[in-house]
Structures are given as structure tokens and as C-alpha cells.
């Protein structure tokens, strides 16, 4: 089910508030809004919510047999990728960046934020369907910039379908096939990357794959391999 509302502060904040109030949110439910007044991204960064773009959140209720919940970052990224391919003139320009950024020709097309509350994981995603907000020092893209003008509601249903299928596969077959498919559409092994770690340090190296839990493996110039679980990843910054 997709509920569409004209405006809210943040769809993620709305679902978290409903969980905090004791409400159970069914899986496959999406809260979608025409615009957000307080959209947010990683580390409290604002997510500029321009009308016509997609902003929505959903919720997963973890089961005891589920894979580690952080791997849902890869699940939602793949679902977004699959929903975007049919509405793009040049889907070959799409690429995923660790762990869940969606890029078009290297510029950010979608942002994803997951927030955990007890056994529930709220997953929010913003996709620049018709306009690309201008953000200093960030390359931002929109699909409309390529000549297409996708319909928000059609995209919402496509994303919900893709995510439902990806979650089912995540539960049924685990992480190995998930990571294989993620790797097939992400920055290739060997890509030069720079990671701005959360402690302020920067690590430069080349991408050598994913750890068993999905952590980024980055080989530095001395041949040491860093296992990174958080940080801002920049492509091609060696």
C-alpha cells in the first residue's frame, strides 16, 4: 500500500514517530509525500525536497532469521536501481556507490537513509526524478536532465514492487547473491576511492570488494586492506 500526502517534515521521522507511539507498520506500506520541509540525510545533512521528486519511507520488521539489518542498505539500493532502469534513456549511466548511493554519470541521483528503532528499520529514499537540487561541492543529477520526465506515482509503485521482491530474496537466499548483484552494478573492483572516515581522516585506495557483512574493502598504496563500516565514499580520488 502506498499512502501519498501533500507535505510533511520527513517521511522517516513520521514513521519513527508512529513506531514510538506503539503503532505497528506493515511491511510493503510506503509513506510518500509531494514535498518535505525537513528532509534529512546522513549525519543530519538536509535533503532538499523539490516538488516532483520522489520522497518516501517504508519499514521492515526484523525477524530472528533475517540477515544482519545493515545489509538492507544494499537491498534498497538494488531496488532503486531496478526501478530506475526502465524509466531512463541511458540506464548504462546508472551506478551504485557503497553502500547505497545511486549515481547517474557519477552524480548523485538518489539518497537513502536507514534508521533503526528496536526491531524495526525505517528506510527512507529520495530520488531526483525531475530536478536536481544545487548543493555546494556535490554533483547532483536528475532524470529530467536527460530529457525524460518520469511520473512520480508510477515510479513509487515500481520501487515498492522492486523492494518487496528484493526483501523476499534477502530473506530467502541471504547475502551472497545480494552482494553479487550489487557488485555487478556498482563501481568496479579496482576503482580508485577516497573514504572520509567518521573520525575526520581520509583513506585513499582502490576498491577490492565487500567483506562478509558488506563492509567496504579498500586496499591502500602499501597493500594493506582496510575494512570500513562507515564513511563518505568518493569515486576516483586517488
Partner 1 sequence: MADSALPENLRYLIEEFNRSGLRELHIRRGDFELLLSHTDHAPSAPAASRRPASPSPQQAPQAQAPAAPPPAEQIADGLPEGTVAVVAPNLGTFYRSPKPGAAPYVEVGQRVEQGAELCLIEVMKLFTTVRSEVSGTVEAVLVEDTAMVEAGQALFAVRAD
From candidates 35, 50, 85, 116, binder to partner 1 by CB under 8 A: 116
**Does residue 172 belong to the site contacting partner 1 (CB under 8 A)?**
no
**Does residue 238 belong to the site contacting partner 1 (CB under 8 A)?**
no
**Does residue 189 belong to the site contacting partner 1 (CB under 8 A)?**
yes
C-alpha cell at 105: 554519470
From candidates 3, 5, 106, 117, binder to partner 1 by CB under 8 A: 117
How many residues sit in the footprint of partner 1 (CB under 8 A)? Answer: 54
**Does residue 67 belong to the site contacting partner 1 (CB under 8 A)?**
yes
- C-beta closer to partner 1: residue 67 or 126: 67
**Does residue 53 belong to the site contacting partner 1 (CB under 8 A)?**
no
**Does residue 210 belong to the site contacting partner 1 (CB under 8 A)?**
yes
From candidates 119, 149, 202, 237, binder to partner 1 by CB under 8 A: 119
C-alpha cell at 28: 510493503
Place of cell 524509466: 87
Tally: H helices and E strands in the chain:
4, 12
d(C-alpha 71, C-alpha 68), whole Å: 6
**Does residue 138 belong to the site contacting partner 1 (CB under 8 A)?**
no
- C-beta closer to partner 1: residue 150 or 182: 182
- C-beta closer to partner 1: residue 84 or 233: 233
Q: Can the peptide bond before residue 40 be classed as cis, meaning omega within 30 degrees of 0?
A: no
Contacts 24+ apart (CB under 8 A), 181-188: 181/78, 182/74, 182/77, 182/78, 182/96, 182/210, 183/209, 183/210, 185/78, 185/81, 185/94, 185/95, 185/96, 186/95, 186/96, 186/97, 186/98, 187/95, 187/96, 187/97, 187/98, 187/235
**Does residue 36 belong to the site contacting partner 1 (CB under 8 A)?**
no
Q: State residue 31 phi and psi, 5-degree precision.
A: -105, 115
DSSP β-bridge partners for residue 58? 30, 123
**Does residue 211 belong to the site contacting partner 1 (CB under 8 A)?**
yes
From candidates 70, 185, 194, 234, binder to partner 1 by CB under 8 A: 70
Which residues here bind partner 1, judged by CB under 8 A?
Answer: 42-45, 62, 64-73, 99-100, 112-119, 121, 173-176, 179-180, 189-190, 198-200, 208-215, 217, 219, 223-227, 229-230
Amino acid at each position: 500500500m502506498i499512502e501519498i500526502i501533500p507535505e510533511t517534515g520527513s517521511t522517516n521521522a513520521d514513521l519513527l514517530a508512529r513506531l514510538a507511539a506503539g503503532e505497528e507498520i506493515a511491511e510493503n506500506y510506503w509513506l510518500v509525500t509531494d514535498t518535505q520541509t525537513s528532509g534529512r540525510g546522513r549525519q543530519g545533512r538536509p535533503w532538499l525536497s523539490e516538488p516532483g521528486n520522489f520522497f518516501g519511507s517504508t519499514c521492515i520488521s526484523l525477524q530472528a532469521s533475517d540477515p544482519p539489518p545493515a545489509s538492507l542498505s544494499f537491498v534498497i539500493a538494488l531496488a532503486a536501481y531496478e526501478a530506475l532502469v526502465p524509466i531512463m534513456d541511458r540506464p548504462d549511466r546508472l551506478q551504485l556507490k557503497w553502500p547505497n548511493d545511486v549515481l547517474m554519470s557519477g552524480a548523485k541521483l538518489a539518497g537513502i537513509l536507514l534508521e533503526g528503532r528496536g526491531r524495526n528499520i525505517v528506510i527512507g529514499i529520495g530520488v531526483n526524478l525531475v530536478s536536481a537540487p544545487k548543493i555546494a561541492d556535490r554533483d547532483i543529477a536528475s532524470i529530467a536532465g536527460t530529457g525524460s520526465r518520469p511520473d512520480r506515482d508510477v515510479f513509487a509503485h515500481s520501487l515498492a514492487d522492486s523492494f518487496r521482491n528484493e526483501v523476499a530474496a534477502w530473506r530467502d537466499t541471504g547475502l551472497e547473491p545480494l552482494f553479487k548483484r550489487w557488485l555487478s552494478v556498482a563501481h568496479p573492483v579496482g576503482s580508485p576511492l577516497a573514504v572520509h572516515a567518521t573520525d575526520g581522516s581520509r583513506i585513499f585506495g582502490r576498491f577490492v570488494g565487500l567483506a562478509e557483512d558488506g563492509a567496504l574493502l579498500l586496499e591502500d598504496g602499501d597493500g594493506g586492506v582496510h575494512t570500513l563500516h562507515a564513511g563518505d565514499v568518493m569515486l576516483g580520488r586517488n
